[in-house]
Structure 1
Amino acid sequence: MTTLLHNRIEAGQLLASRLTGYANCPDGIVLALPRGGVPVAFEIARKLRLPLDVCLVRKLGVPGHKELAMGAIAPNDVTIVNRDVVNWLHISPETIEQVAEQEKKELARRDRAYRGNRPYPEIRDRTVILVDDGIATGATMRAAIAALRQQHPKEIVVAVPVAAPSVCQELRTEVDKLICLRKPEPLHSISLWYEDFSQTTDEEVRDLLERAERELMVMK
C-alpha cells in the first residue's frame, strides 16, 4: 500500500533528499508550478541553497468539468492539447481557444501577483529543477517543459511527489531526469495521496518567493 504524504512541506523535504547532487549548483534554479508546487519547491530550494521562482502554466479545464485537463498553456504562446480527452469528449477547436483566452488573462494576473516588478529569470544554459505537487494527466507539466525548452536550458529535472506511472514513463522521454516519490496505480486524484492537501493561496506563493530570496541572500 502506498504511504500517504503528510503535506507539501514533507513532500518537498523528501524530494530535496533525492536531489542533493544539485546542492549549491552554480547554474541551478528551482522553478515551481503555482500554486501548489510552490510550497514543495520552497523546501527543495532551501535545502539545496538554490534560487526559487515560478514557472507560470495554466491548465485548460473541460467546460463543466474543470478538474479534467483538455490541455495547458504557458507563456510565449505554448499550447499543449490532450488529444485523448479532446477526442473522447468531442471538444471543438473553438471551445479550446475560448478557454485558452480566459486562461491567458489568469496567466498575466498571476505573473503580476507573484513576480511584481521582478524580471523573469534567465534560463539559457541553466540547470532547471521543475517542481509541482503532483502530476495527473501531464498536460500542465508538458506545457511547462515546452516553454522552458524554448529558452535552451542546460538540463531539465522534473521533481514531483506523486504521479501516475504511465505519465512518468512518458515524461521521462521529454526531460533529462525525473524524480517521483509515489506512483500509485490507479492515481484517481493527486489529493488522495496527501493527508493535507489544502489549497495554496496567492499570498502564500508571494510570501514563499520572498522568503526564499531573503534566505538565499543570507546564505551568500
Structure 2
Amino acid sequence: MLFQDRTDAGKRLATRLTAYERQPQTIVLGLPRGGVPVAFEVAQALELPLDVLIVRKLGLPDQKEMAMGAIASGHVRILNQRLLQNLQLSPEVIEQVTREEQRELERRERAYRGNRPPLELRDRTVILVDDGLATGATMKAAVAALQRQHPARIVVAVPVGSTHACQTFEKIIDDIVCAESPEPFSAIGLWYDNFDQTTDEEVRNLLKHRVSQPH
C-alpha cells in the first residue's frame, strides 16, 4: 500500500504542489466522489478555495467498471471510439447509458451545490484532483469540460496513476502531477489501505468547510 486512505493521499499530494500555495486566481476542483477528500486536503494545505467538477464514467452495460467513455458538467461527452468499434455496441445502448449517467450527474449537481453557483474559472489556474488515474477516461472528460470555461492554466494532480495515463495528460494540459506511478498498476484501490466509497454527505461536508471565492 502507498496510502492509508484518501486523507493521507491528499496530504502527501499537497507536498508536490507547493508552487501553487496561496497563489491568487487559483482554485482546486475535486472529482466526486472519491477525489473530493483528496482535493480537500490539497486545498487546505495550499490555502486555496475548493469546488467540484462533476464527471460520470460511462460503463459498459455488462461490465460497469470498464469505461467506454465519460460525461461531465456542461454537456461534455468523451467516448472511447476504438473500444466501441471493437465491441460493436449500438448507438441506442450508448445513448441509454449516457441518459442514465446524465441523470445521476444532475442529481449530484443538486446534492453538492444546491443553489450555489459554480465558482468562476475563466482566466484562473485550476488544479483538478482525483484519487487516482487508471485509464484516464474520467479525467479527460473533466479536462474537456474545463477547457470550455477558458481557464488560464489546467493542472491535473493525483496521488497515484498508471504511467500510461499520466503521460497521456502531458500532451493535453499545462501540468500533470502524479505523485506515484507504480507498475504494474492494475487498479487505483490496490494502492490504498482504506478505499471505502465516499458518501454524498462527506462530499457536502467537505465543500461546506472549504468553498470560498478566490482572492
Q: Which whole-Å CA distance do the structure 2 matches of 1:85 and 1:138 have between them?
A: 14
Which residue number corresponds to residue 196 of structure 2?
Answer: 198
**Post-superposition offset of 1:147:** 0.4
Residues 31-53 of structure 1: CA deviation (Å, up to 9, x unaligned): 00000000000000001110000
TM-score normalised to structure 2 length: 0.96
> What does residue 125 of structure 2 align with?
127
Residue number in structure 2 paired with 1:51? 49
Please report how far the alpha carbon of residue 64 of structure 1 lies from its aligned counterpart in structure 2 after TM superposition: 1.6
Q: Tell me, what secondary structure is at the counterpart of 2:178?
A: strand
Q: Distance in 1 between matches of 2:31 and 2:58?
A: 15
Deviations 1:92-138 (A, max 9, x none): 22211110111111111000000011101111000000000011111
With the length of structure 1 as denominator, give the TM-score of the two structures. Answer: 0.93
Question: How much does 1:90 deviate?
Answer: 2.2
The alpha-carbon deviation at position 26 of structure 1 amounts to 1.0
Equivalent residue number for residue 165 of structure 2: 167
Tell whether 2:58 aligns with 1:60: yes
Report the CA distance between 1:4 and its aligned residue. 1.8
Deviation of residue 21 (structure 1)?
A: 1.0
Is this contact kept in 1: 2:30–2:52, CA < 8 A?
A: yes
- Are 1:145 and 2:143 matched, yes or no? yes
Which amino acid is 2:102 matched to?
A: K
Task: List alignment gaps of at least 5 residues for structure 2.
Answer: none
User: How many equivalent pairs are there?
Assistant: 214
- d(CA) in 2 for partners of 1:135, 1:174: 15
Q: What amino acid is aligned across from residue 101 of structure 1 in structure 2?
A: R
> How far off its partner does 1:208 sit?
0.4
CA distance in 2, matches of 1:188, 1:94: 31
3-state SS of paired residue (1:185): coil
> Do 2:127 and 2:155's aligned partners in 1 also have CA atoms closer than 8 Å?
yes
Other-structure match for 1:112: 110
Instruction: Tell me whether 1:102 sits opposite 2:100 in the alignment.
Output: yes
Report the Cα offset of residue 6 of structure 1. Answer: 1.2
Work out the percentage of aligned pairs sharing the same amino acid.
58
SS at match of 1:12: helix
Q: Is the 8 A contact 2:53 2:73 kept in 1?
A: no
8 A Cα contact 2:131 2:158, kept in partner: yes
Separation in 2, partners of 1:183, 1:23: 24
Q: Which runs of 5+ in 1 are unaligned?
A: none
Residue 87 in structure 1 maps to residue 73 in structure 2: no
Aligned to 1:75: 73
CA distance in 2, matches of 1:94, 1:176: 36
Matched with 1:27 is: 25
1:176 aligns with 2:184: no
Query: Over aligned residue pairs, what C-alpha RMSD do you find?
Result: 1.4
